[in-house]
Structure 1
Amino acid sequence: MQNLVLFTSKDRDTILKARKGESKFGEHIQLIPNLTNIYDDIANLDVDFVLFGISEDIGVFANYGKTGTYKAWEATIKILLNIQSNSKTKAKRVLVLGHLDYSEKRTLTELKSTKKNVSKARTIVESIDKDVTHIISSIIKAGKTPIIIGGGHNNAYGNIKGTSLAYKEKINVVNFDAHTDFRAEEGRHSGNGFSYAYAEGFLKNYFIFGLHENYTSERIYKTLKKIKSINYNTYEAIEVRNELNFNTELENTLNFISEKNFGIEIDCDAIENIPSSAMSPSGFSVKQARQFINYFGQHKNVSYLHICEAAPTKKTATKVGKLITYLITDFIRAYGN
């Protein structure tokens, strides 16, 4: 795959900050020195998780959004590799594959959001979809669980399609998000990954957890009402009006999705004051996001974890990297419990 950049021992050693008397996560991860075929290269590896990044914000640009999501992978890997390796973090169970790199193509995102440029971006997103689909499908066929970091929420489409193709059936998804990303099929972008996956027969039950009422159009509400295999709750109903209980809603959501293999999608827009493509001063706490992943990550049918839309700056890179690292390790700890 021409856009996949393998994570090498040299990359690891550059990032690692070894400390006497301590054992760091990055010292115990698994790596692939040379890639021939993703499935063949990882099928016999003694790991549970395959971690990779998607360094792109073309899908966000294609949705007229705020760019910067391509930086999340680098911010995360620098923090993750330097946390402690112990019986709780399970570094030996993790293969760090590398990241999908679109630096050449993302020069488009520095231009004005004209109709022509946005149209070009939507065509590029289609090619990114193919890369993500291939990697996800290969990882799941090899019996491992993908953890995908970075990029826009357009990549949910490739996650869902790849998982569906690997299992040869539709899958379910829970999306921790302020938005549905179920917008019109008008060309691929970060706002319609789920609608495309549903229309093309890869997505069955879809639950949006914590939808923001201010940012959901009446048209979307009508669409959600029509489709019985889509359900949702709103942030306001849970946290503002206290009509719904957070823990009870976790249980109700699990009942809606857990009969089939399902993916966990985490959009950082949903977490209060986290630098993201649509950062919000009002949202779930980091603690609630961690509890969410811990809860769903324990179920036997969980198929992947995707953390997206974080858009760190130089000033906030450490904050974002730490957040995503907590979410990754919460998922690793929850898995199989």
Structure 2
Amino acid sequence: MDKETFIQKAGSPLFTDRYYKKAASLLQEWNGIEEIKGTAVIGVPLSKPSISHSGACFTPATVRKLFHNYSTYAVETREDLQSSKLTDCGDVLMHATDIKESYRRIEQSIEKLIRENPSLHPIFIGGDHSITYSLVKGMSNAKAGTIGVIQFDAHHDLRNTEDGGPTNGTPFNRLLSDEVLQGAHLVQVGIRNYSNSEYYHQFALEKGIRISTMKDVQEKGILCVIEESLEYLQGKVDHIYISVDMDVLDQAYAPGCPALGPGGMTSRELLEAVYKVAQHDKVCGIDIVEIDPTIDFRDMTSRVAVHVMLEYLRGIDIS
């Protein structure tokens, strides 16, 4: 800031406190040349394949902006993330009209990034849930060994592609069909009533998918469900990927989800779950999807996403 004219860079915070380190300070822009070591943020702004109207393509920008609203300090455990490195790789450029081309760009970009930066640990900001197909496929192409997925979601996302092509309801069906992912390597947490059909629930069971419903979460507790899920995957896969569909949350906590509904998780349960999973040494990345900032209330849902990212980073840092 010019102290004589009091002119500062556009977009700078309106107020700063020298003793309050903001989470935005963690984001370090990648120069596109140096090797990326550690955790990185990558925006995947695609929402045209969504079954319902969605402005999830605007989420990466909204989430980055909200990093200015929070600190780096976790008071409950007296941990400060200030020393953590969070490289911002920018966003994958989507094609204006060709959805399949956008999927190809996502897969190719992620595969290349991971091959060239083997220690890269990505946090993907969607976008709708259809991007998970391309993200997992790109990671699978670049990494040796098998990938397992822990999916936080109200829905199975196993819909067929014949009735509407690849959409945000089909990513896990596509991953299974293309043998990128085995049914026994997929764990779904938070599946709830009146968000799925009998056909797709039976399909999930036949494929060997491990399902924990919201009733399981309520009766066992979220940490017990996560411990069981990790123990289940531990000996089956080489890498564990986390996919967070924000509609796993109750509508009271996620008004910006296109497919919001009652009976879901609390934000506290989701944060505890992500932190717990992130500590596992086989975790290789995470995506956060299905937020529409254009219908959100005071960015409530995007604010939860920021906390998911920070809890994930905190878990990774101590693992």
Distance 1:314 1:225, change over 3 A: closer
Shift of the 99–15 alpha-carbon distance from structure 1 to 2, 3 Å rule, reads farther
User: In 2 relative to 1, CA 315–270 (structure 1 residues): closer, same or farther, beyond 3 Å?
Assistant: closer
**1:119-198 to 2 correspondence within 5 Å?**
124-141=98-115, 142=117, 143-186=119-162, 187-198=165-176
- 3-state SS, counterpart of residue 299 of structure 2: helix
Separation of aligned partners in 2, 1:276 and 1:328: 17
The 5 Å alignment of 1:302-321 reads: 302-313=283-294, 316-321=297-302
Q: Report the AA paired with residue 194 of structure 2.
A: N
Residue number in structure 2 paired with 1:57: 47
Partner of 2:28: 30
TM-score using structure 1 length:
0.80
Assess, with a 3 A threshold, how the Cα gap between structure 1 residues 271 and 28 changes in structure 2: closer, same or farther.
closer
Asked whether 1:201 is paired with 2:179, we answer yes
1:66 aligned partner: 53
Q: Contact (CA 8 Å) 2:22, 2:69: kept in 1 or not?
A: yes
Superposed counterparts of 1:203-282, under 5 Å: 203-204=181-182, 205-228=185-208, 230-239=209-218, 242=219, 244-259=220-235, 260=237, 261-273=239-251, 274=254, 275-282=256-263
How far 1:150 sits from its partner (Å)?
2.0
CA distances 1:158-180 after superposition (whole Å, capped 9, x unpaired):
12101111114431101000001
Offset, 1:30: 2.1
Residues 66, 306 of structure 2: 8 Å contact kept:
yes
C-alpha contact 1:67 1:277 (8 A) present in aligned 2? yes
Partner amino acid, structure 1, of 2:274: I
Unaligned runs of 5+ in 2: 1-8, 74-78
Q: Residue deviations 1:125-151, cap 9 Å, x none?
A: 322222221232233331111101121
**Which has the larger share of helix?**
1
Separation in 1, partners of 2:229, 2:80: 27
Distance 2:66 2:114 in 1: 26
CA distance in 1, matches of 2:292, 2:131: 15
Change (3 A) 1:251 1:168: same
Number of residue pairs aligned between Structure 1 and Structure 2: 292
Q: How well do the aligned residues superpose, as a CA RMSD in angstroms?
A: 2.2
The CA distance in 2 between the partners of 1:281 and 1:14, in whole Å, is: 40
Percentage identity across aligned positions? Answer: 18
TM-score normalised to structure 2 length: 0.84
Q: Match for residue 94 of structure 1? A: 86
1:232 is displaced (CA, Å) by: 0.4
Q: Which ranges of structure 1 fall in alignment gaps of 5 or more residues?
A: 1-12, 36-40, 106-123
Moved over 6 A (4+): none
Distance verdict in 2 for CA 1:42–1:200, change over 3 Å: farther
